[in-house]
Amino acid sequence: YILFNFSITDPEPVILTIVPNSIFEETCAGDANGEFSIDVSGGSLPYSVSLDNYDGPYTSGGPGQTLFDFTDLEGGDHMVYVRDAEGCESQWNISFPESVNIEPELEIEYLCENNSLFNVVTVYVDETTLDPVELDYSLDGGAFQESNVFTDVLPGTDHYIEVRHTNGCIVMTDLFDIEDYQPLELVLVEGDEAGEIIANATGGTGIYEFTLNGENYGSSAVFLVTEDGVYEVVVTDSAGCQAVAQIEIEIIGPCIPDYFTPNGDGISDEWGPGCTEDYPNLTFDIFDRYGRKVATYRAGEYWDGKYDGKELPTGDYWYVVRPNSTVLGKDYVGHFTLYR
């Protein structure tokens, strides 16, 4: 027989290392611009590599290539698989930074301080995934600031805020508008009905709330009062700003003549209450000195001094005037004189 002496050498293992300073994280979630490089040694060249998939596809390197670049990457860890020329395999988990996912939300508030309206714009992010310390903010392309709150943003349209992460990721909010609210003002006028006060509010923001002499009337801007006097109305807008106005109300009841002279001369030929514009539902009855009702009329009608078509004599007659008004909660009773 023939004896041969020979030795078997184990192949060197395939080893992966990260090329120093080659890791560049994805700037913003969705950018897919991360990258890193590896250096492969050991085994038998050439090498083939696959990223995040054991089954490939594999990219074959050149005969002496040991450096491999991976680009256009999303954030998060990645797995690199390597095969050498003999089919030996190795894999390596690359600790790659997670993506910075900034999804800013806006809150716009209109507030009142010292009875002056101002706005506050606040930017919110998900603090469960982001550290606010790593963020700063810019309004409409201006200088960045640490605070996420902007006060007294100028009225106008298409404002925006940029949120910047320390890694360079910058995300812009949706465009937003700031309303140009005018100062809250209040004017009081008398309505068509006696004792009616109408509050005309302008400026401010949101729904108005009214009080009359301290009594809350909600959003109603019309008030009915039953007594003469000075009344104060306060209007408050949704931001808390207020305006105050006062009005003096004099409730004028029906004007009742003391006499009339139905002699056909065109002067005081008929009798009836005047000043009834505020009392469209007014009615009145007329009685003679014996208590007999001789006439019943409504507002705008007048008695000619007759009963059943016959002239009644000179003398005193009595009246009951009923305004039938929520403002004047009383009837007027008295007498007048018919002169012939």
189-202 confidence digits (pLDDT tens): 999 878 899 999 99
Quickly name the fold that domain 185-249 has: Immunoglobulin-like (2.60.40)
List pLDDT tens digits, range 117-149: 999 999 999 998 899 999 999 999 999 999 999
Give the start-to-end residue ranges of the domains of the chain.
Answer: 15-94, 105-178, 185-249, 259-338
- Write down the pTM of the prediction: 0.65
Task: Tell me the C-alpha distance between 339 and 265, whole Å.
Answer: 13
Distance CA 190, CA 196 (A): 6
- The third-level CATH classification (topology) of the domain covering 105-178 is Immunoglobulin-like (2.60.40)
Q: Which CATH superfamily is domain 15-94 in?
A: Immunoglobulins (2.60.40.10)
- pLDDT lower than 70: segments of the chain: 1, 6, 8-10
pLDDT in tens, 228-263: 899 999 999 999 999 999 999 988 889 999 999 999
In whole angstroms, what is the distance from residue 239 CA to residue 110 CA? 6
Q: Write down the architecture of domain 259-338 according to CATH.
A: Sandwich (2.60)
- Tokens for 336? 């007048």
**pLDDT recorded at residue 64:** 93
- Angstrom distance (rounded) from CA 141 to CA 162: 8
